[in-house]
Amino acid sequence: MMRFPISDTSPIRFPGPPPAACDVVVLGGGVIGVMTAWFLAERGLKVTLCEKGRIAGEQSSRNWGWIRQQGRDFGELPIMMESLRLWKSLSQEFGEALGFRQEGVLYLAKTEREIANFETWLAEAKPYGVDSHMMTGGAVAEKLKGSSKAWIGGLHTPSDARGEPWTAVPLLATGAQARGAVILENCAVRRLDVQAGRVAGVFTEQGRIACDQVVVAGGAWSALFLRAEGVEIPQLAVLASVAATEPMAEIFPGNACDDDFAFRRRQDGGYSIAPGSGHDFWIGPDAFRNLRTYLPVLKKDFRSTGFRPAAPKGFPDAWGTKRRWGGDETSPFEGIRVLNPAPNMDRIARVQAFFAEAFPGLGRPRLRAAWAGMIDTMPDVVPVVDRVGRIPGLTIATGMSGHGFGIGPGMGRVVADLVAGNDPGHDLRRFRLARFTDGSALTPGPSL
Ligand SMILES: Cc1cc2nc3c(=O)[nH]c(=O)nc-3n(C[C@H](O)[C@H](O)[C@H](O)COP(=O)(O)OP(=O)(O)OC[C@H]3O[C@@H](n4cnc5c(N)ncnc54)[C@H](O)[C@@H]3O)c2cc1C
């Protein structure tokens, strides 16, 4: 099987060197950090992006590649619609290499309850102007060539899209660089340098960079970084497994799923396949700390979650991971350059079986690669995008909760304007940091 294309042994494409000073340091070279740096540079700010490992080494290369409005939380939907417009213009700049294709997203229902959930979402989504619509079982059967499963209906958004994560995000980083952003790989940010109560710089493993603004877009590592600065976010990391098949006949050109399995047509003629809802979770100190906050989602997801007692050594919430360190000390971020957990092959085997059962004409898909990623999730399944009042100059953009790839360009634009002091153009109250402490009830997003 093919090795995952981005790892800690991949050649460094963005060597630096680090500047002594800039306006904004962005921590994290996933799609959120990259697109934030892109728009900050476009706004004329001097921006440095520090990535501890490789650009897009973690979630931003490992995801399914779905760019979807469908099933979105309504706080995110307007940003996602902007993001889709941005993806279209990015695909004009980068051409086929992004793998951007608007071939639609289709959710498949096996039960009346699922149909009712889709209809509830659709009724609220319609006023936003999305082109989503319900489909009958007959229409679904016509759309999915050769399917043997009797889905009773579906929710379909023809304008939704797909991209090729592991080629797209590194390309977007070259675009940010071309606009003036300095991008550094193998450059962990260890700590903030806070002076007189506000951000004065960062301590990185390659030295101090003076700046008066920092954006934390560290994916699954954000909570660990922020906690060392006295800022708590109830973020946990969930293991999600994926596989890519060998090229096979086309059954649907877009992305589709039910709660058993999900598939997305790939540019190489295969499919990215994954469990529809199953994932795994390693219990660690943060899990205990945040247990109460997570009870509502836990109740919903309990059966689809595989619990394991301890994360591998050095993972963000592993039992032995260091929680305190100084700016001149080696930090946990240098211990694991690229989080590369082993996929759960039992889950992948079940997905192969579901696929073969649903499309008997194609048989059991043969795998070209299998991998996993650590999803940075929040208890209400929507991110934190906010300034930290207690530390002026610090902005958080993290916890995309398993759907940050599609929204990446739009969210990057929003975060850049927030940092630049411009109107972000969308209502960001749903993503405020204080929601975890101000006594308001947490409302989980639809996570459809
Ligand atoms: C299996 C899987 C399937 C998914 N499917 C989809 C999908 O179909 N559609 C969708 O929209 N989303 C999907 N997602 C979610 C999506 O991939 C993420 O929400 C998105 O990539 C998050 O981007 P990010 O930039 O916030 O984080 P990441 O991509 O995780 O990037 C964070 C980066 O920060 C770096 N970092 C952390 N700490 C430091 C530090 N101290 N110093 C320097 N660098 C640091 C890390 O090395 C990492 O590269 C999926 C995720 C997974 C894992």
pLDDT digit string, tens, across residues 147-204: 999 999 999 999 999 999 999 999 999 999 999 999 999 999 999 999 999 999 999 9
pLDDT at site 303: 83
Q: What is the pLDDT of residue 205?
A: 98
Residues with Cβ within 8 Å of residue 80, at least 6 apart in sequence: 68, 69, 72, 406, 407, 410
Ligand 1 neighbour 221 (Cβ under 6 A): yes
Give the residue whose CA is nearest to atom 25 of ligand 1. Answer: 30
Instruction: Name the residue of 12, 59, 415 to mutate for ligand 1: max ligand atoms within 8 A of Cβ.
Output: 59
- Ligand 1 atom with the smallest distance to the CA of 374 is 53
- Locate 100 and state its tokens: 């951007």
Q: What is the mean pLDDT of residues 345-365?
A: 96
Question: What is residue 300's predicted lDDT score, i.e. its pLDDT?
Answer: 80
Question: What separation in Å is there between the alpha carbon of 227 and the centre of ligand 1?
Answer: 19
Give me the pLDDT at residue 223, please: 98
Average pLDDT over residues 408-434: 98
Which ligand 1 atom sits nearest the alpha carbon of residue 255?
8
Q: Is the CB of 278 under 6 A from ligand 1?
A: no
**Token pair recorded at residue 246:** 């060998």
pLDDT at 298: 82
How confident is the model over 323-336, as a mean pLDDT?
98
Q: Is the CB of 219 under 6 A from ligand 1?
A: yes
Ligand 1 pocket residue status of 29, Cβ below 6 Å:
yes
Q: What is the pLDDT of residue 16?
A: 84
- The confidence score (pLDDT) of residue 297 equals 82
pLDDT tens, position by position, 15-57: 989 999 999 999 999 999 999 999 999 999 999 999 999 999 9
Atom of ligand 1 nearest to the CA of 190: 41
Ligand 1, atom 18, lies closest to the CA of 404
The tokens for 429 are 């109250």
Is the separation of the CB atoms in 105 and 160 below 8 Å?
yes
State in Å: Cα 127 to ligand 1 middle: 30
pLDDT > 90? residue 436: yes
Residue 366 Cα to ligand 1 midpoint, Å, equals: 27
Does residue 218 line the site of ligand 1, with CB under 6 A? yes
Tell me the per-residue pLDDT of 224-239, one tens digit each, with 9 for 90 and over: 999 999 999 999 999 9
Position in ligand 1 atom list of the atom nearest CA 402: 15
Structure tokens, 444: 């989980």
User: Cα(80)–Cα(98) distance, rounded to whole angstroms?
Assistant: 18
pLDDT at 447 over 80: no
Arithmetic mean of pLDDT, 373-388? 97
Residue 366 to residues 64, 244, 262, 348, 361, Cα–Cα distance (Å): 18, 9, 16, 11, 14
The residue contributing the CA closest to ligand 1 atom 22 is 404
Closest residue by CA, ligand 1 atom 53: 373
| DSSP state letters, 329-385 | S--HHHH-SS--PPP-HHHHHHHHHHHHHH-TTT-SPPEEEEEEEEEEE-TTSS-EE
- Is the distance from the beta carbon of residue 255 to the nearest atom of ligand 1 less than 6 Å? no
Percentage of the chain beyond pLDDT 90 is 95
R_g (Cα) of the chain, nearest Å:
21
Nearest protein Cα to ligand 1, atom 33: 28
Cα 381 to ligand 1 centre (Å): 14
Q: For 99-151, what is each residue's pLDDT tens digit?
A: 999 999 999 999 999 999 999 999 999 999 999 999 999 999 999 989 999 99
Q: Kindly report the CA angle at 319 between 314 and 321, in degrees rounded to 5?
A: 40
> Could you tell me if the CB of 62 is within 6 A of ligand 1?
yes
Mean pLDDT, the chain, rounded, equals 97
Calculate how far, in angstroms, residue 59's C-alpha sits from the geometric centre of ligand 1: 3
Is the CB of 53 inside a 6 Å radius of any atom of ligand 1?
yes
CA–centroid distance, 53 to ligand 1, in Å, is 13
* pLDDT in the model for residue 422: 98
Which amino acid appears at position 440 of this protein?
Answer: S
Which among 14, 58, 280, 385 is the best mutation to test ligand 1's pocket, defined by most ligand atoms within 8 Å of the CB? 58
Determine the distance separating the centroid of ligand 1 and the alpha carbon of 244, expressed in angstroms: 19
Atom of ligand 1 nearest to the CA of 331: 41
Q: Is 27 in the pocket of ligand 1 (CB under 6 A)?
A: yes
pLDDT, one tens digit per residue, over 73-95 is 999 999 999 999 999 999 999 99
Q: What is the pLDDT of residue 304?
A: 87
- Whether the pLDDT of residue 72 is over 80: the answer is yes
Whether 296 has a pLDDT exceeding 90, the answer reads no
Ligand 1 centroid to 136 CA: how many Å?
35
- pTM score of the predicted model: 0.98
